Amino acid sequence: MRTGTVNLPLHTGKAPRWLFERMVKLAGGITETIIYEYGRDEFLRRISDPFWFQAFSCVLGFDWHSSGTTTTTCGALKVALSPQVHGIAVAGGKGATSRKAPEEIERIGEGFSLSSDKIERLKYSSRMAAKVDSSCIQDGYELYHHCFFFTEDGEWAVVQQGMNSEYARRYHWLSADNFIEPRNGICCDRTEANVLDMTAQESEAARSVSLDLVNDDPVHLKKYFKPPNQRMLFDFESGFGLPRHHPVLDIDISERGMEVLKRAYELSPKNYEELISLSGMGQKTIMALALISDLVYGSAPSWRDPVKYSFTHGGKDGFPYPVDRGVYDGSIQILRESLENARLDRKERYSAIKRLAEFTSVQPGFDM
């Protein structure tokens, strides 16, 4: 299921090396504690929760809307987590690194001794999570960050992020079996107008009609589109005459787009997920099919933005206050000692980690 998105305004600033090194240690300590106490699946569940992830980022040294909250937190986890030690790996990352996710999944998956079928399924899940949030949800945010978390058992989660000119939006997934109707739990401080959401329950009829339109030979769809270079009614002054044909939709589907639809028709996809998984099925084609479904057949898709924060050690940019290195190092040490003593079966010392809230309530500048 896709478990949420978060909208974040961008703040400037860069995590300094001294802070990032501490982030790696603290992220590793917290993660190891969760795995020891609850297991790997619980860590995936938490990392896919946008509220928990945000609080986790703030513990590491961010205020709730610092620039880099997502990328630096995921980067710290990628360094901190060892597939051999923790049984969890992180593939992908920011920019060009995100495109390395498939080869990293394959390499680490082989190290986990996962079957070739399971590795291929993980690679498919990574690709489809990105495609759904970039093409099936058209909210104006371009994906530039994709981290794929997966365990030695083949369970997975995704944390990915897109940007527009002012804001970043984060998307969370957890081992989805259905990429078309993921369960949403979305939080943010800003909604966008007229967001096409083909994953919504309300879009079920539009998905069904879109599939039928393709399987019924897409050649007949040409009459609905704006032919290349055709002039529109508003291009003509009074007395100049009118064009012979007015397209129903002001969408210019290229020859390549029509070839994609023809290829889809030849493959006869069984469901909407198969349809959108095809190479070349991008935003414009998905939008066109959705609009025809609505305008011609009355099957309207959802146009509602699928959208729904925490301080501890301070923020990397000095807000709400500078990071207190002493308190930060103390937190790392507490976690380290708790884990070391837990490994020695000294449960009474390890249980102290559960009383962190009580401990931190008396620490200066340590606001939970």
Question: pLDDT digits over 53-89, tens only?
Answer: 877 887 787 654 556 788 889 999 999 999 999 999 9
Tell me, what's the pLDDT at 220? Answer: 80
Do 145 and 267 have their domain in common? no
The number of domains in the chain is 2
Long-range contacts of 327-333 (CB under 8 A, 24+ apart): 327/363, 327/364, 327/365, 327/366, 328/22, 328/26, 328/61, 329/22, 330/363, 331/26, 331/360, 332/22, 332/25, 332/26, 332/29
End residue of a domain, out of 258, 277, 295 = 295
Do 76 and 175 have their domain in common? yes
Cα-flanking dihedrals φ and ψ of residue 171, to 5°?
Answer: -120, 135
| Structural domain contains residue 15 | yes
| Structural domain contains residue 318 | no
Among candidate residues 19, 20, 42, the one with its CA nearest the CA of residue 31? 42
In the predicted model, is pLDDT for residue 233 greater than 60?
no
State the residue for tokens 């009355």. Answer: 298
Does residue 258 come out as left (phi exceeding 0), alpha (psi in the -120 to 50 range) or beta?
A: alpha
Q: Which domain holds residue 234?
A: 202-295
State the residue for tokens 């569940």. Answer: 45
Do 167 and 247 have their domain in common? no
The larger pLDDT score, comparing residue 357 to residue 260, is at 260
Do 52 and 137 have their domain in common? yes
Strand partners, 92: 147
In the predicted model, is pLDDT for residue 349 greater than 60?
no
The pTM is what? 0.75
The larger pLDDT score, comparing residue 359 to residue 263, is at 263
| Structural domain contains residue 358 | no
Do 196 and 249 have their domain in common? no
Categorize the per-residue pLDDT at 218 as very low, low, confident or very high, splitting at 50, 70 and 90.
Answer: confident
Tell me, what's the pLDDT at 276? Answer: 95
Q: How far apart are CA 223 and CA 79, in angstroms?
A: 53
Tell me, what's the pLDDT at 340? Answer: 67
| Structural domain contains residue 345 | no
In the predicted model, is pLDDT for residue 309 greater than 50?
no
Categorize the per-residue pLDDT at 238 as very low, low, confident or very high, splitting at 50, 70 and 90.
Answer: very low
